[in-house]
Amino acid sequence: MTQEVKEIRRIRIDKNSILFKLWKYFVSFAALILISIWLFQTVFLSSFYETMKIHEVTKVGNQLRAEYESEDFETKLSNYANTKGLEIKVLDETGAWVFPLRLFDEFIERPRMIWENFDKFFGSLKRDNRIYKIYTVRYENLKDPSIIYAGYLGNTNGEDYYLYINSVLKPVDATVDVIRRMLIIISFISLVMALIISYFVSKRLSRPLVRMSNTAKELAKGDYKVEFRKGEYTEIDDLSNTLNYAKDELTKTIEMRKDLVANVSHDLKTPLTVIKSYGEMIRDISGPNEELRNKHLETIISEADNLTALVNDLLDLSKVESNLEEIKKEEFNLEDSLYYVLDRFKINKNYSEYKFNIKSKGNTKIKADKSKINQVIYNLINNAINYSPDNKEIEIVIKGDSKFTEFHCIDNGIGIKEEDINGIWDRFYRVRDNHARPEIGTGLGLYIVKTILELHDFEYGVHSKFGEGSDFYFIATK
């Protein structure tokens, strides 16, 4: 209970919270509806009533005028008068009543409209060249105003006949008063209800967001086991999916970074130890023996190469990741790039053991960032060499047409297991237990390849069979 009270107080102060805003909108909406009803009922009711009456009287008048020639015209007149509660009269051109007539009226003089009124209603029709007119008049003997319809019926036997309809406007003030009192009560109840209901609705609507924010706080504190809960709304489901995905990626990266530190430390330590011990060996043992000394020096050089490769990988990674470098596209020949990269490998004696079978055909020109694509080719060939300990034949295929150029680096090495295929493109990912030379590689090469190719929007992938070899490829668009 105290928790609840605290909550409400906190939310009232926090005017930017979803809960407060939703609540505010709900209540404003309810108030707006109430105000509209008020305005309509109290201000516009009388004029609305009058407009409706005018409309009704006009309709009846026009209908009757249209029926004037019909045989049962008089019956219709009485019907309308009775059903609609209207006073309907037909007058001749002297202003005398023709309808309604009672039998004895034949013997006395027919009642007549005051000439002044007759002229006002009907005389003006001819003068203004109109068929009918509507008036709102206030008769002295009547309290309430009337709507008068004055229309010209037609000419029969040389005499003009007129239609007169009178509808008294019943006072709406009393009704308005009753409605007003009712509205005060209804408004009060509605507002209180809107306040209460909307508070709970808003609280319910904002609940998953509050929950999510709490989970995110836990994640921020370093608890990677938290789960963003789904439920209630599609949008929230989407959001928790995204956040869960982000959390998984974050966890993966953190774990891989831990791995990297371990790997890199190991990768640095091993060659350094080798270099140190071989250096000592040269100093103490092989110094004067040229043949042995050279052998030891070769090992030192090769280990230094490994160190250089590792440092280069780390540098490339930070370059690619920092996104500072944008791609600078130019047109160049992919085949030229291949030979340029292969030349770099040739410097290292070990690589001469490998046989490169190059097949190039078609238009091999592409438009891309040359140095970055060189790096892709370098990393792919480097992997092909590293993971082909026995069969040292590597095939490189470049084939191009007017739209695409494909590059394949096919080795007959150890291949990749099905379950590792998706992981190899991730940062710091190294297939465990099957490294031909575990001291080689940082798990960064393919991540760099992937990042560069995605920057170019080039399709890429690998076909591989464990124990048989791999075909790494990318397709450059022109």
From 321-329, 337-345, 381-389, 391-399, span contacting ligand ADP (CB under 6 A): 381-389
Which positions from 151 to 170 touch ligand ADP by CB under 6 A, shown as an x/- string? --------------------
From 66-74, 254-262, 327-335, 426-434, span contacting ligand ADP (CB under 6 A): 426-434
**Between 240 and 451, CB nearer to ligand ADP:** 451
Tokens representing 29?
């909406």
Tokens representing 260?
């990297």
From 74-82, 157-165, 285-293, 410-418, span contacting ligand ADP (CB under 6 A): 410-418
Tell me the number of residues near ligand ADP by CB under 6 A: 21
Please report, for residues 346, 376, 467, the alpha-carbon distance to residue 354 in angstroms, rounded to integers and kept in the order given: 10, 19, 18
Q: How far apart are CB 353 and ligand ADP at their closest, in Å?
A: 16
Which positions ≥6 away from 112 have C-beta within 8 Å?
94, 95, 96, 97
**Between 150 and 394, CB nearer to ligand ADP:** 394
Which positions ≥6 away from 415 have C-beta within 8 Å?
464, 465, 466, 467, 468, 469, 470
Nearest to 423 by CA among 383, 450, 457: 450
From 121-129, 173-181, 363-371, 382-390, span contacting ligand ADP (CB under 6 A): 382-390
Asked if residue 95 binds ligand ADP (CB under 6 A), the reply is: no
Which positions ≥6 away from 183 have C-beta within 8 Å?
34, 37, 38, 41, 42
Asked if residue 381 binds ligand ADP (CB under 6 A), the reply is: no
Q: How far apart are CB 427 and ligand ADP at their closest, in Å?
A: 8
**Between 179 and 310, CB nearer to ligand ADP:** 310
Which positions from 328 to 367 touch ligand ADP by CB under 6 A, shown as an x/- string? ----------------------------------------
DSSP secondary structure code for residue 112 in this structure: B
Nearest to 93 by CA among 121, 69, 134: 121
Which positions ≥6 away from 313 have C-beta within 8 Å?
442, 444, 445, 448
How many CB atoms neighbour CB 197 within 10 A?
13
Asked if residue 383 binds ligand ADP (CB under 6 A), the reply is: yes
Helix then strand then coil, % of the chain, to nearest 5: 60, 20, 25
Binding-site ranges for ligand ADP (CB under 6 A): 383-384, 386-387, 411, 413-416, 424, 429-431, 441-447, 470
